[in-house]
Chain A
Amino acid sequence: MKIVVPVKRVIDYNVKVRVKADHSGVDVSNVKMSMNPFDEIAVEEAVRIKEAGNADEVIVVSCGVASCQETLRSALALGADRAIIVETDVELQPLAVAKLLAAICHKEKPQLVICGKQAIDDDANQTGQMLAALMGWGQATCASKITLNENVATVTREIDGGLETLEFPLPAVISADLRLNAPRYATLPNIMKAKKKPLETINPGALGVDVAPRLRTLKFSEPPKRGAGIKVADVAQLIDKLKHEAKVL
C-alpha cells in the first residue's frame, strides 16, 4: 500500500507574523519557514503505519515555490521514502492544491492520503475535503486515532463534545488533528540519508491543472489591538454593554 502525504511550507509557528505595510499580504521575506505542524503529524502517522508493516511506501508531496524542497527533505528525514514537488510561483489556493493532489493520486494510485487538518497560515481546512470529493473517496477529518485493517480504516475524530468513530473502505483521505501523535525528532543518520532519497519535480502544466487563483484577496490587516478594560457598575450595565457596544447578545 502506498500512502501520500501532502506537506505545506508555512511560516514557522514561533515567528511573529507581520502584515506588509501596504496590506497586500503577510511578510514572508527572510522569515523562518517550516513544515506545517499538522502535516508533520500526518507524516509521522504515515511513517508509523509503514513501520508497523501496513504500508510499503510513503510519498510526500508539496506544491509551491522551489524552496518547498527543504520542507520535503525534512519529511524525508522523518522517514518518508520519496518526494514530489509540484513547483510553481503562483499563489496556490486550496482548490488548486486539491486538483494538483488529485492528479498526483491518479498517477501514484495510493490507497490512503493523510494530510494535516489545516495549515497554520491560512487555516482554511479545505484541501483534504476537496481532494476526497475530486477523487470520489471517503474521508475522515480531524483524526485523533487511525486503525487500518486490510482495506478498512477506523478513525476516531475529535468533535464538539466528544469523539466520533468512523469506519470506511479505502482508498480514502484522512486529515490529522493535533492529538493523533507526537512527531519524532529526525535522527542524524536519517537527515543525512534524506539528501539521497528521490525528489521529483513536476510543474502544474504537466499535470494538466490550471492553478490560477479564483479568489481575490482584498486586504490583510493585523487583529485590532486590545484596549484597556473597564469596571462596570452593575449587571445591568454589563448586559447593556454586551448588547450595544460588543454586540454579542
Chain B
Amino acid sequence: MSTYSAPVRDMHFVLNDIVGLEEITSLPGYEECSPDLVEAILDEAGKFATGVLDPINAIGDQQGAKWMGGEVTAADGFKEAYKLFVDTGWNAMPCSPEFGGQGLPTVVSMAVNEMWKSANMAFGLCPMLTGGAIEAIAHHGSDELKATYLPNMVTGTWTGTMNLTEPQAGSDLSAIRSKAQPQADGSYLISGTKIFITWGEHDMAENIIHLVLARLPDAPPGVKGISLFVVPKFLVNSDGSLGARNDLVCASIEHKMGIHGSPTAVMAFGENAGAIGYLVGDANKGLGYMFTMMNHARVNVGLEGVGIAERSYQHALSYARERIQGAPIGDKSGETKAIIHHPDVRRMLLDMKSRTEAMRTLAYWVAGQMDRAHNHPEATARVTHQARADFLTPVVKGWSTEQSIEITSTGIQVWGGVGYIEETGACQYFRDARITAIYEGTTGIQANDLIGRKLAREKVPGSTAKALLAEMATFANSMGNDESLLAMARQLNDGIAAMQRATDWLLATYDSNPRAAAAGAVPYLKLTGIVVSGWLMAKSAQIAAQQIASGASDDFYRAKIATASYFAAHQLPLAAAYAAAIAEGSAAVLDIADGLL
C-alpha cells in the first residue's frame, strides 16, 4: 500500500509560474499572504494529509458510516481526525477574516483542498459542504444569522449541509415540494423529505446546520418559488448555547458504490411538530442564492477529480516500480524486470501523470481567475476574469471528473489482476471517483450550462470563448521560436483550430436547432478541457524549457516537458475528433426513434 505524498513541487510550479501567485498575493485583500507563506502552508497541509487523513481512507471505505435508529457513526478514526482538523484550523482557511477565517486566496485553498481530496475524498466532503453552507449564509443571510451560525461553522465545530435534492427533484429543482410555513415569530416550519444529503447526519460535530430549499405557501410554481432556509439540528439559544433537538431526522443512509466514509443521508424534516427554520435572504430567491456559490462548489468537485486521479497515479506508480514481471519488449538482456520498464505500462503511467497535471493546471488557473475577479482593483479586469471563470467552471467540473474515472480505471489496469481485488486499494479510487461526474450537476448539466449560458446565451454570444481562443492562438504562434517545442506548437494550433470550428458551429446552431447543439454539448465540454489545458501545459513546457536552457538542474522541468509533450501528442488530437462529432454527429443522436434505442 502506497502512502500519499502531496505533489507540492508541481503545485508550486502551477501556482507560481502558471497562475501567478505573486501577482495574486499582491492584490488588495490578500496582503497577509505571500509565496513563501504558501510554501509553508502546503508543506504542513501535506503532512496533515499524509499523517492523519490518508491512514483512515481505506478504513472509511471498508467500514463505511453506520446508521442506527437515526444516529450516524462515522468510520473508526474519522471523529478523531475531524477534531484534529478543526483544532489545527484547516477548516477556517478559505473563510473571510470577518468570521474567524484566514482570508487566503481561493487558489491557495485549492491546492490544500486537493490534498484532502487525494488523501481521503470521503472525509474531505464534510468540510467542503460546510464551506458551501458558510458561503450561502455569508453572502445572503441576515446579520443575525451570520452572527449565530458562522463563527462555529468557520472553525468547524458545527458542520453544514446542502439540502436540495428530493426524490422527484434531481437535476430539475423546479419540482421541489418541501414546504415552509411562516410562524408568528418570523421563523418557519419546514417539512419534507430530502435525499442524497452528504454528511447529513454524523457524530463528528456538536451541531449540523442544514441549508434547505423549500416552498412558501404562496410561492409561484417552478424555480421562481423556491426559498432557502437555515434549519439547525439543534436549535441555538440566544446566548449561543445549544437548545432543543429540532424536528428533523436522518431516516437512513444510502449504500453506495464509493465514498463509503461519507454518510449520504435521507433527511425527514417536520415529521412531528415541524422543523424550525430561518429564511436566508428574500423569499423565492433560494435557487439564485444556490447558484452564486455553485461556481466554487463545482470547481471543488472538479478538484476531487484532480485529487483522486493523483492518488490513483501514486498508488499505481509505487506498484509499477516494485512488481517484477516478464522481460520488457525489446530488452536484449532477457531479464525479468519491474513492470515500469514495459512500454505499455509506461504509457499508462505517463497518461495518468500527464492528464492529472493538465487537470490540476486548469483547475488552479480557473481559481486564479476567481481570485482576480474578486479582488482586482480595476472593474473591467474583474469582469473579464469573472467571465473566464464562469466559462471554464463547468469544464473544470465536467472534464476533470470524467477524466478521473478513466485515470483511476487505468490505475487498476497498471495493477493488473490484483488491482481488481479490493485489498490492494486500487478499486477504491475508481469507485470513489465515479460519483464526481454525477453530483453537483452531472456532466450533461455542466455541458448544457457551458454551451448555453456560458457560450451561446452570453451577453455578447461567444465573446469569452473567442477572446480565449485568440489569446491561445497568439501563444501557440509565438512557440515557434523554440525548436524543441515545434511539434507541440503544431499540435496546440490544431487543437485551437478544432475548438474554433466547434465554437463557431455551436454559435451558429444553438438558436436555430438547440437539440442538435445539445447533442454536442458534452463533446464540446471535453474538447474545451483538452484544448485550454493543452495550452496551459504548453506554457508549462515553454517555462520548463527556458529554465533548463538557463542551467536549472531540477529534474522536475524535464518531467514537465515530457508530460506536456505526451498531452500534446496523445490528448490534443482528440479535439479534432470531438469537433467533427459535434458538427456531424447530432443527427445520429437525434434521428433514431425512441423505440429503436
Which A residues fall within an 8 A CB radius of B?
14, 29-30, 32, 70, 73-74, 77, 185-189, 191-192, 194-195
Decide: B44 and A77 in contact? CB cutoff 8 A: yes
Given A70-B40, A185-B44, A187-B87, 6 other A-B residues pairs in contact with their CB atoms under 8 A: A74-B44, A77-B44, A188-B102, A189-B102, A192-B41, A195-B40
Decide: B37 and A185 in contact? CB cutoff 8 A: no
Decide: A77 and B48 in contact? CB cutoff 8 A: no
Q: Which one of B32, B40, B41, B93 has the greatest number of beta carbons of chain A within 10 Å? A: B40
What 0/1 readout, one digit per residue, does chain B (73-95) give for beta carbons within 8 Å of chain A?
00000000000100111101100
Give the docked Cα–Cα distance between A70 and B84 (Å).
24
Decide: A29 and B553 in contact? CB cutoff 8 A: yes
Decide: A188 and B32 in contact? CB cutoff 8 A: no
What 0/1 readout, one digit per residue, does chain B (25-68) give for beta carbons within 8 Å of chain A?
00000001010110111011001100110000000000000000
Decide: B89 and A189 in contact? CB cutoff 8 A: yes
Decide: A30 and B554 in contact? CB cutoff 8 A: yes
Decide: B37 and A195 in contact? CB cutoff 8 A: yes
Decide: B102 and A185 in contact? CB cutoff 8 A: no
Decide: A192 and B102 in contact? CB cutoff 8 A: yes
Task: Name the B residues within 8 Å of A189 (CB-CB).
Answer: 89, 102
* Minimum CB distance partner of A29 in chain B: B553
Task: Name the B residues within 8 Å of A30 (CB-CB).
Answer: 553-556
Q: A30-B554, A186-B44, A188-B89 are in contact. Are A14 and B5 (CB under 8 A)?
A: yes
Decide: A185 and B51 in contact? CB cutoff 8 A: yes
Q: Does B474 contact A (CB under 8 A)?
A: no
* Minimum CB distance partner of B8 in chain A: A32
Decide: A14 and B3 in contact? CB cutoff 8 A: yes
* Minimum CB distance partner of B45 in chain A: A188
**4 nearest CB pairs, A to B:** A188-B89, A187-B88, A187-B89, A30-B554
Task: Name the B residues within 8 Å of A77 (CB-CB).
Answer: 40, 44
19 CB-based A-B contacts, threshold 8 Å? A14-B5, A29-B553, A29-B554, A30-B556, A32-B8, A70-B40, A74-B40, A74-B44, A185-B44, A186-B44, A187-B88, A188-B44, A188-B88, A188-B93, A188-B102, A189-B102, A192-B32, A195-B36, A195-B40
Give A77 Cβ to nearest chain B Cβ, in Å: 7
Decide: B44 and A192 in contact? CB cutoff 8 A: no
Give the docked Cα–Cα distance between A195 and B3 (Å).
29
Partner of A186, one of B39, B52, B88: B88
What 0/1 readout, one digit per residue, does chain B (366-410) give for beta carbons within 8 Å of chain A?
000000000000000000000000000000000000000000000
Decide: B41 and A191 in contact? CB cutoff 8 A: yes
Give B140 Cβ to nearest chain A Cβ, in Å: 27
Task: Name the A residues within 8 Å of B89 (CB-CB).
Answer: 187-189
Task: Name the A residues within 8 Å of B32 (CB-CB).
Answer: 192
What 0/1 readout, one digit per residue, does chain B (533-572) give for beta carbons within 8 Å of chain A?
0000000000000000000011110000000000000000
Which B residues fall within an 8 A CB radius of A?
3, 5, 8, 32, 34, 36-37, 39-41, 43-44, 47-48, 51-52, 84, 87-90, 92-93, 102, 553-556
Partner of B90, one of A14, A29, A188: A188
Decide: B44 and A191 in contact? CB cutoff 8 A: yes
Give A21 Cβ to nearest chain B Cβ, in Å: 14
Give A236 Cβ to nearest chain B Cβ, in Å: 34
* Minimum CB distance partner of B85 in chain A: A185
Give B517 Cβ to nearest chain A Cβ, in Å: 46
Give the docked Cα–Cα distance between A185 and B36 (Å).
19
Decide: B40 and A194 in contact? CB cutoff 8 A: yes
Give the docked Cα–Cα distance between A74 and B84 (Å).
18
Give B274 Cβ to nearest chain A Cβ, in Å: 40
Task: Name the B residues within 8 Å of A191 (CB-CB).
Answer: 37, 40-41, 44
* Minimum CB distance partner of B90 in chain A: A188
Give A178 Cβ to nearest chain B Cβ, in Å: 15
Q: Which one of A32, A70, A186 has the greatest number of beta carbons of chain B within 10 Å? A: A186
Give A190 Cβ to nearest chain B Cβ, in Å: 8
Task: Name the A residues within 8 Å of B88 (CB-CB).
Answer: 185-188
Task: Name the B residues within 8 Å of A32 (CB-CB).
Answer: 8
Task: Name the A residues within 8 Å of B48 (CB-CB).
Answer: 185
* Minimum CB distance partner of A189 in chain B: B89
Q: Which one of B3, B84, B88 has the greatest number of beta carbons of chain A within 10 Å? A: B88
Give the docked Cα–Cα distance between A32 and B37 (Å).
17
Give the docked Cα–Cα distance between A47 and B540 (Å).
43
Task: Name the A residues within 8 Å of B37 (CB-CB).
Answer: 191-192, 195
Give the docked Cα–Cα distance between A70 and B43 (Å).
10
Task: Name the A residues within 8 Å of B34 (CB-CB).
Answer: 195
Give the docked Cα–Cα distance between A186 and B41 (Å).
10
Partner of A74, one of B3, B43, B102: B43
Decide: A185 and B555 in contact? CB cutoff 8 A: no
Decide: A70 and B555 in contact? CB cutoff 8 A: no
Task: Name the B residues within 8 Å of A194 (CB-CB).
Answer: 40
Give the docked Cα–Cα distance between A80 and B64 (Å).
39
Task: Name the B residues within 8 Å of A185 (CB-CB).
Answer: 44, 47-48, 51-52, 84, 88
Task: Name the B residues within 8 Å of A73 (CB-CB).
Answer: 40
Give A246 Cβ to nearest chain B Cβ, in Å: 26
Give B553 Cβ to nearest chain A Cβ, in Å: 6
Give the docked Cα–Cα distance between A14 and B37 (Å).
23
Task: Name the A residues within 8 Å of B43 (CB-CB).
Answer: 70, 74
* Minimum CB distance partner of B50 in chain A: A14
* Minimum CB distance partner of A190 in chain B: B89
Task: Name the A residues within 8 Å of B92 (CB-CB).
Answer: 188
Task: Name the B residues within 8 Å of A188 (CB-CB).
Answer: 41, 44, 88-90, 92-93, 102
Give A110 Cβ to nearest chain B Cβ, in Å: 26
Give B159 Cβ to nearest chain A Cβ, in Å: 18
Task: Name the A residues within 8 Å of B52 (CB-CB).
Answer: 185
Give the docked Cα–Cα distance between A185 and B89 (Å).
10
Give the docked Cα–Cα distance between A194 and B36 (Å).
11
Give the docked Cα–Cα distance between A77 and B87 (Å).
14
Task: Name the B residues within 8 Å of A195 (CB-CB).
Answer: 34, 36-37, 40
Give A93 Cβ to nearest chain B Cβ, in Å: 26
Give B357 Cβ to nearest chain A Cβ, in Å: 17
Give the docked Cα–Cα distance between A32 and B555 (Å).
13
Task: Name the A residues within 8 Å of B3 (CB-CB).
Answer: 14
Give the docked Cα–Cα distance between A195 and B44 (Å).
14
Give the docked Cα–Cα distance between A185 and B87 (Å).
10
Task: Name the B residues within 8 Å of A70 (CB-CB).
Answer: 39-40, 43
Task: Name the A residues within 8 Å of B51 (CB-CB).
Answer: 185
Give the docked Cα–Cα distance between A84 and B124 (Å).
37
Q: Which one of A188, A192, A194 has the greatest number of beta carbons of chain B within 10 Å? A: A188
